[in-house]
Chain A
Amino acid sequence: MARRPDAGAGYAGRPAAVTSHFLRQALLLAALAFVPAIGQAIYFRERVSWQSPIPPSEMVTVRQARAWGADVIWVDARPEEDFTHDHVPGAILLNEDRWNELLPPFLATWSPEKKVVVYCSTQSCNLALEVARRLRNEAQLKDVYVLQGGWEEWLKQKK
């Protein structure tokens, strides 16, 4: 009924030969996948940060963000319980868990001359990165930055 796979016959009788056949096929597929992948990587080379998840131009230090003063809207991308526990004064909660619900109130406070600084818990968390990306791509906002070191760094520098 169904057509036989190209390497199925005789599998049980010749395990060594079939293992080598498996490997050859797998290696061929693995090699073939490089072709479009490299092409796509070349196409995206300017838009991707290869060494760090956030390009340096999209990051801001605590000191720099504070220097912007009232021109900044702080966005807290952490879960709500963390935000409720403590947050940067004046920060607005905007996380991916309740994106559709929290985005409109955020946009109501936003204005084009304001810079947006998004933070999550630490340097290694990706919540701020994802919220910043969605603000740029979906809400079409410019001047969106990720806070270097996140909330932990803000706390350190507060002391």
Chain B
Amino acid sequence: MVELIVGGLFIYAGATKVLDPLQFAIDIDNYKSIPWSIAVRLAFYLPWLEMLCGLALITRRLYLGGLSILSLLISIFIVLSIVAKARGLDISCGCFGHASKYLSFAGHLALNFAILAALLTLFWRARSPQKESS
């Protein structure tokens, strides 16, 4: 069930960005951490990666790979958001396309931490699958 929710969330998040890669490139560029030429390339790549990893969680194929990548991505976003806030940048994370603009910084951070917690829970459950299946 957790896989379905978290995987579905990442598929939704990826799909909103795939529809408007230029907007996502602008959202990445807002962090002022990487040059535009890299931001725009990442804007084409990251949404597909998110969707594939979300699909991996739901279908349980390449499961641990999907978990690892999503945990890494969400951790990077959390760090970048905090750094951006500390630098006084007023940004939208772009996590859910244009809808992200309506999330406050605290709301955005809480959501990302909740997702990270869910991913770590899935890691923990993958460590002891015997308990789960009994």
Contact = CB atoms under 8 A, between A and B. Distances in A.
Interface of A: 1-9, 11-12, 18, 21-30, 32-34, 36-38, 40-41, 44, 47-53, 96, 124, 126, 129-130, 133
Interface string B29-72: 11010001100110011001100110010001111111011000
Contacts of A4: 60, 129, 132-133
7 nearest CB pairs, A to B: A25-B65, A5-B63, A33-B49, A26-B65, A8-B129, A8-B126, A37-B45
Contacts of A1: 132-133
Contacts of B49: 29-30, 33, 37
A11 B127 contact: yes
A49 to B, nearest CB: 8
Given A7-B63, A18-B64, A48 B21 contact: yes
Contacts of A40: 18, 21, 44, 48
Interface of B: 18, 21-23, 25-26, 29-30, 32, 36-37, 40-41, 44-45, 48-49, 52-53, 56, 60-66, 68-69, 101, 126-129, 132-133
Contact of B62 (A3, A8, A9, A25): A25
B36 A28 contact: no
